[in-house]
Amino acid sequence: MTIHVVRQGESIFSIARRYGVSSASIIDANRLSDPSQLAVGQAIVIPGDISTHTVSAGESLFTIARNYGVSLNSLIAANPGINPARLQIGQTITIPVPSQPLGTIYVNGYAFPNISMDVLRSTLPYLTYLSVFSYQVRPDGSLPEINDTPLIQTARAAGVAPLMVITNIEEGASFSSDLARAIFDNQEAQENLINNVVEVLQQKNYYGLDVDFEYIYSEDREKYNNFMRALNARLRPLGFSLSVALAPKISADQPGLLYEAHDYPVMGALVDHVILMTYEWGYTYGPAMAVSPVDQVRRVLSYAVTAIPREKILMGMPNYGYDWTLPFVRGSAARTLTNRAAVEQAFRVGAEIQFDARSQAPFYNYYDAQGRRHEVWFDDARSIQARLRLVDIYGLGGVSYWTINSFTPQNWLVLDSMYNVRKVI
């Protein structure tokens, strides 16, 4: 697999000819709905082990190495008869293609019960776990019914382990600090919740439990730890796995309601997997920026591996983008869009997709019919590849996608080219 960035005037036919592959293979791999609509700057995955490259005007070994995601030294070593300072247009360059994946990792994907079954089936081959989102706990420890049975059965049929997810989301609202406290402070409600969780796990044939409690009061930190200890003590003897989703912290004492009650060392010792929510730097009500910038993700991982066994860490991977109206006004909301929709919109509005070196993420600007300037940040094969490299660099257990409800082919093309997926059932 290699990644090609579309230039002005290029077509799928010309790109395919350049790499010596069929147009159909590129169209199929990237699931291009209209191959004639390519945006300048769009990343296209070229399937197969591409081993040669034909030099075009203006290219250097440095730019070729960067475009293929290989080191300059390895490219020079693979072409001993070539003078790096005197490349010729039309010259054939050998590209060193890694013959082995970087390793075998766990891959989790969150899905809402309303996911298209076609999307689900297309995604399951790349997953270890399917986390069905979510059972929203009630103050008395009871749980609502959700339509998760089709997802559980489909996942198990594909050899993917289904995980039950519980959240402190108030019905019809959002994450609630008070709801979490109501569970922590009422022993009867807590025991009722744990009993109900066990009942659902057993009756619906779940593999394990994932806990996603957010915005917990800082003074409830140890109460949350004790709640997780109670779950651990109850689920372990029954053979169920236990995982937890945690905020992306860069230090143990990071201030803020989202961070303070999430105790990395305690949680890391209790659970099988810690899912780090390494996204939402660019978010709905914030200024325009990358959703999951590599430089910020690195800061989180650099702290996390000092507090949590690194093999337990699943790095969060977003599967969406945002469209902001500029200038940013506090309280205004960005529009969420899928990664594929972001590229299609770029073509439609005539925007050239740029790539930010610091955050390792694509973006573009355009003006709408009212003359307002917009900025769009999303993910493509390049940004996905850049973050997936961190799994190997930090020795992590794997990744977790939020969410898999929309199908981004490049997520799975890149993942499949870099890692094997571990299966537990």
- Domains within the chain, CATH numbers bracketed: 2-94 (3.10.350.10), 103-318+381-421 (3.20.20.80)
366: DSSP letter = E
Show the tokens assigned to 163. 């995980």
The distance from CA 373 to its chain's CA centroid, rounded to whole angstroms, is 28
Nearest to 6 by CA among 57, 45, 53, 42: 42
pLDDT tens per residue across all 425 residues of the chain:
888 999 999 999 998 887 778 899 999 999 999 999 999 999 999 887 755 677 888 889 888 888 877 888 878 876 777 888 888 888 878 777 665 789 999 999 999 999 999 999 999 999 999 999 999 999 999 999 999 999 999 999 999 999 999 999 999 899 999 999 999 999 999 999 999 999 999 999 999 999 999 999 999 999 999 999 999 999 999 999 999 999 999 999 999 999 999 999 999 999 999 999 999 999 999 999 999 999 999 999 999 999 999 999 999 999 999 999 999 999 999 999 999 999 999 999 999 999 999 999 999 999 999 999 999 999 999 999 999 999 999 999 999 999 999 999 999 999 999 999 999 99
Residue type present at position 180: A
Q: Are 39 and 346 in contact (CB under 8 A)?
A: yes
Catalytic residue (one of 145, 170, 191, 214): 214
Task: Please report, in angstroms and rounded to a whole number, the separation of the first and last CA atoms in the chain.
Answer: 28
Please give the sequence-ordered ranges of beta strands (E in DSSP) within 225-331, or none if there are none.
Answer: 241-246, 273-276, 313-318, 321-325
Residue 214 designated active-site: yes
Tell me how far apart the alpha carbons of residues 274 and 272 are, in angstroms, rounded to a whole number.
7
Residue type present at position 130: L
Peptide bond before 327: cis, by omega within 30 degrees of 0?
A: yes
For helices 409-418 and 23-30, angle between their N-to-C axes, nearest 10 degrees: 100
351: DSSP letter = P
What does the radius of gyration of the chain's CA atoms come to, in whole angstroms? 23
The model scores a pTM over 0.85? yes
